[in-house]
Amino acid sequence: MSAAAQITLAVVALGITFWVVRLVGLRRLRSKYALLWLVITVPLVPLAVFPAIVDEAGKFFGVNYAPALLFSLSSLLLLGIVIHYSWELSRLESRTRRLGEEIALLNARLDDAERADDGEGET
C-alpha cells in the first residue's frame, strides 16, 4: 500500500470517528449506534498505519490473499449491523403500534367520560 493511500485511509477513519462522536454530542445520534460505527472505524486507523497487520493475520488464518480476510470481516460486521437494524426496526414497529392503540383507547375513555359528564349536566 502506498504512503498516500495509507494517509488517506487513516485520515478518513479518524474523520468519521470524530464526526460520529460529534453527532452524539449534538444529540443527533444515540451513543449505542455510535459505538457500533466506532467498532469499525477505530481499528481502521492502526490498520492504515501498519498494513503489515493484515498480511500477518492472513498468514495466521492460512489465507493466500490477505486482503480477502479484511473484506470478509468487514462484510460480516456490516451484515451484523444490518441484522441489528432489522431487530431495532421490529421493536420500533411494535412500539408505534402499541402507541397507536394506546391513543385510540385513551380517546375512547375520554369520549366516555365526556358523555358521562354531559349526562349529569342534563339531569
Partner 1 sequence: MSAVAVIPAFNEEAPLGDVLAEIAEIDGLVPVVVDDGSSDGTAGVARNAGVACVRLPFNLGVGGAVRTGLRWALDHGAETVVIIDADGQHDPADVAALLAAIDAGAGLAIGSRFAADAGDYAVGATRRRAMRILNRLVRTTTGFAATDATSGFRAMSRPVVEYLACEYPVEYLADTVEVIILVRRAGHEVVEVPVSMRERAGGVPSARRFRLAFNFLRLLVGIAGGVLVGRRDGGRP
Q: Are 13 and 45 in contact (CB under 8 A)?
A: yes
**In angstroms, how far is the first alpha carbon of the chain from the final one?**
89
CA distance 48 to 50: 6
Q: Confirm or reject binding of residue 21 to partner 1 (CB under 8 A).
A: yes
Q: Confirm or reject binding of residue 109 to partner 1 (CB under 8 A).
A: no
Is residue 34 exposed (0-12), middle (13-18) or buried (19+ Cβ within 10 Å)? middle
Residues 75-104 that bind partner 1 (CB under 8 A): 95, 98-99, 102
> Residues 87, 91, 93, 97: what is their CA dihedral angle, to the nearest 10 degrees?
160
Of 6 and 31, CB closest to partner 1: 31
Is residue 119 exposed (0-12), middle (13-18) or buried (19+ Cβ within 10 Å)? exposed
Residue from 5, 32, 74, 89 in contact with partner 1 (CB under 8 A): 32
Amino acid at residue number 74: S
Of 34 and 63, CB closest to partner 1: 34
Q: Confirm or reject binding of residue 34 to partner 1 (CB under 8 A).
A: yes
Residue from 10, 14, 16, 23 in contact with partner 1 (CB under 8 A): 23
Q: Which stretch binds partner 1 (CB under 8 A): 27-35, 47-55, 70-78, 113-121?
A: 27-35
- Which residues are near partner 1 by CB under 8 A? 18, 21-27, 30-32, 34-35, 38, 95, 98-99, 102
